Amino acid sequence: MNNLFKNPLVVLASVGVLSACGGGTTATTTYYELLDASGGTFTVAVIAQDSGSPIGTTTESGSYNIATGVTVGGGTHSLDATSVLSNDRSSTAYSYVSGLTSAAGDYKIVGVVTDAGDLPSDTTVVYLGQAQVLVNDGVIYEGTMESTITATIGTVGTNTNLVDVELRNISDGLRALATYGAGGLGNGNELIQFTDLEISGSTFSAVASSGSVVDGFGSAASSIDTSSATLTASGFFAGSTGQEVAGGATMDTAAAQALITFTGTQ
pLDDT digits (tens, 9 = 90+) for 166-225: 999 888 765 555 566 555 567 889 999 999 999 999 999 999 999 999 999 888 889 999
- Residues in the chain with pLDDT < 70? 1-29, 43-53, 56-61, 102-107, 173-185
In this structure, are residues 162 and 194 in contact, taking their beta carbons and an 8 Å threshold? no
Indicate the burial class of 194 (C-beta count within 10 angstroms; 0-12, 13-18, 19 or more).
buried
Q: What is the pTM of this model?
A: 0.86
Q: What is the pLDDT of residue 112?
A: 85
Contacts of 166 (CB under 8 A, 6+ apart): 147, 148, 149, 150, 191, 192, 193
Q: What is the pLDDT of residue 76?
A: 85
Q: Which domains does the chain have, with CATH numbers?
A: 3-265 (2.40.160.90)
Q: What is the pLDDT of residue 19?
A: 39
In this structure, are residues 249 and 194 in contact, taking their beta carbons and an 8 Å threshold? yes
Q: What is the pLDDT of residue 40?
A: 83
In this structure, are residues 245 and 151 in contact, taking their beta carbons and an 8 Å threshold? yes
Instruction: Provide φ and ψ at 177, rounded to 5°.
Output: -65, -35
Q: How far apart are CA 59 and CA 235, in angstroms?
A: 12
Q: Using H for helix, E for strand and C for coil, what is the string for the chain?
A: CCHHHCEEEEEEECCCCCCCCCCCCCCCCCCCCCCCHHHCEEEEEEEEEECCCCCEEEEEEEEEECCCEEEECCEEECEECCCHHHECCCCCECCCEEEECCCCCCCCEEEEECCHHHCCCCEEEEEEEEEEEEEECCCEEEEEEEEEEEEEEEEECCEEEEEEEEEEEEECCCCCHHHHCCCCCCCCCCEEEEEEEEEECCEEECCCCCEEEEECCCCCCCEECCCCCEEEEEEEEECCCCCEEEEEEEEECCCCEEEEEEEEEC
In this structure, are residues 257 and 16 in contact, taking their beta carbons and an 8 Å threshold? no
